[in-house]
Amino acid sequence: MAPKKTIMKIYSSEITPEQTYYAQSQSRRQFFKTAGLVASGALLSACAPSTPSTVDPAPTAIKPEKPVTAGQTDELGDAITQYDAISNYNNFYEFTTDKQGVAQMSAGFVSSPWKVQVGGLVNNPKTFDIDDLRKIAPIERIYRMRCVEAWSMVIPWSGFTLSNLLKQVDPKSEAKYVRFETLLDSNRFPGQRDRSFPWPYTEGLRLDEAMHDLTLLATGIYGKPLLPQNGAPIRLVVPWKYGFKSIKSIVKIDLVAEQPTSLWMKSGPSEYGFYSNVNPEVSHPRWSQSSERRIGEMARRRTLLFNGYADQVASLYAGMDLRKNY
């Protein structure tokens, strides 16, 4: 079995100074490999002091204080992207199409109270309150995020696996796909006044993709609650697919029998397919998919099949023509 890609939370006392970090990273990675999956309530309380006691699920400052997580790498040894970059360079058309403008536009976005309605073909439909979802034993995972626009970041998420949530609602046997929906509210999402997109943002996964251990529902980033620009209060993270699949600010999750049609499939069917797996072999009319710019680096990197997660997810697509099922 492939080693679990889960990485233990680093306490602030353990933060490594920049200079020594490279020297240590080797042995640290070794440690992580053996640490395995860590998911315990104690870890959540460990980060409690860094957040105010009155629950503030989405800090609204554009540049919040430096978060506790620092000096970590993903399982390939890639350093995590600067928090400033993660919080100021975002694609979130519900606010604005300007990547640098999202942070400002989304400041003050109210994401509490918030409910996530989970239903469709399930035996136990349920509406979850965000506060309850936060109590699910949080895990922290460091994932590469590859945007279809040929840039990428390495992001430390916290949250829980989507499978964890889906098991609670008990999908019926007819359920073959999962459909996700973002909040529809043009007062809070001014970008939704732009009628050139079929709002609300919707996305979908095949049920086995949704149940995969890598598929995360994130409520935190960098050891802090999700910022509005990153999809507060809860978002999907599917690291082997292009970033737009990882739908933000989710209010509805439905189990369905038919393959859902996402917003991007509707607005550009020839460019955005249902699967949208990161694949350097399948080109896009605008952006290079064979290479990417890692934010914070000056030289391009070659893009990896399934964004480097092939050993864990390739089997999901055995026998499928990935050029046709793009």
Partner 1 sequence: MAALLPITHLLWDTWRGNLTVNPLQDWTFRTGDWALRLLVASLACTPIATIFGFKQASSVRRALGLYGFGYAVVHFFIFIGVDYRFAFDLIWDDLATKRYILVGLVALLIFMPLAITSTRAWMKRLGRQWKQLHKLTYIAVPLAVVHYIWLVKADLRDPLLYATIVAVLLLLRLPWVRTQISKLKYRRVFQKL
Q: Which two tokens stand for residue 252?
A: 């509805």
State the minimum distance, in angstroms, from the CB of residue 194 to partner 1: 9
Q: Can you tell me whether residue 190 is helix, strand or coil? A: helix
x-or-dash string of contact with partner 1, 121-150, rule CB under 8 A: ----------------------------x-
Q: Which two tokens stand for residue 308?
A: 């480097």
Strands (E), 183-294: 202-206, 216-221, 224-225, 235-237, 250-256, 291-294
Q: ∠ at Cα 131 (128, 133), nearest 5°? A: 55
Q: Where do runs of H (alpha helix) occur along 48-175?
A: 83-88, 102-106, 130-133, 162-169
**Number of residues in contact with partner 1 under rule CB under 8 A:** 26
State the minimum distance, in angstroms, from the CB of residue 86 to partner 1: 9
CB 307 within 8 A of CB 240: yes
Could you say which of 29, 99, 126, 206 contacts partner 1 (CB under 8 A)?
99
Q: How far apart are CA 237 and CA 235, in angstroms?
A: 7
Closer residue to partner 1 in complex, CB, 58/147: 147
104 lines the binding site for partner 1 (CB under 8 A): no
61 exposed, middle or buried (CB, 10 Å; 0-12, 13-18, 19+)? exposed
Closer residue to partner 1 in complex, CB, 20/97: 97
65 exposed, middle or buried (CB, 10 Å; 0-12, 13-18, 19+)? exposed
State the minimum distance, in angstroms, from the CB of residue 161 to partner 1: 29
Q: Which two tokens stand for residue 152?
A: 């990428």
Could you say which of 24, 100, 124, 127 contacts partner 1 (CB under 8 A)?
100
Q: How far apart are CA 36 and CA 63, in angstroms?
A: 32
Closer residue to partner 1 in complex, CB, 120/191: 191
x-or-dash string of contact with partner 1, 277-316, rule CB under 8 A: ------xxxx-x-xx-x-xx-xxx-x--------------
Show contacts with partner 1 in window 187-246 (CB under 8 A). Answer: 196
151 lines the binding site for partner 1 (CB under 8 A): yes
89 lines the binding site for partner 1 (CB under 8 A): yes
Closer residue to partner 1 in complex, CB, 68/263: 263
State the minimum distance, in angstroms, from the CB of residue 21 to partner 1: 20
Peptide bond into 200 cis (omega under 30): yes
Closer residue to partner 1 in complex, CB, 105/214: 105
Could you say which of 60, 79, 84, 176 contacts partner 1 (CB under 8 A)?
84
Closer residue to partner 1 in complex, CB, 6/87: 87
State the minimum distance, in angstroms, from the CB of residue 84 to partner 1: 8
What are the φ and ψ backbone dihedral angles of 104, each rounded to 5 degrees?
Answer: -70, -45
Report the greatest alpha carbon distance in the chain.
55
Q: Which stretch binds partner 1 (CB under 8 A): 80-88, 111-119, 121-129, 169-177?
A: 80-88
Strands 250-256 and 177-182: antiparallel
Q: Can you tell me whether residue 203 is helix, strand or coil? A: strand
For binding to partner 1 (CB under 8 A), which residues are involved? 82, 84-85, 88-89, 93, 97, 99-100, 149, 151, 196, 283-286, 288, 290-291, 293, 295-296, 298-300, 302
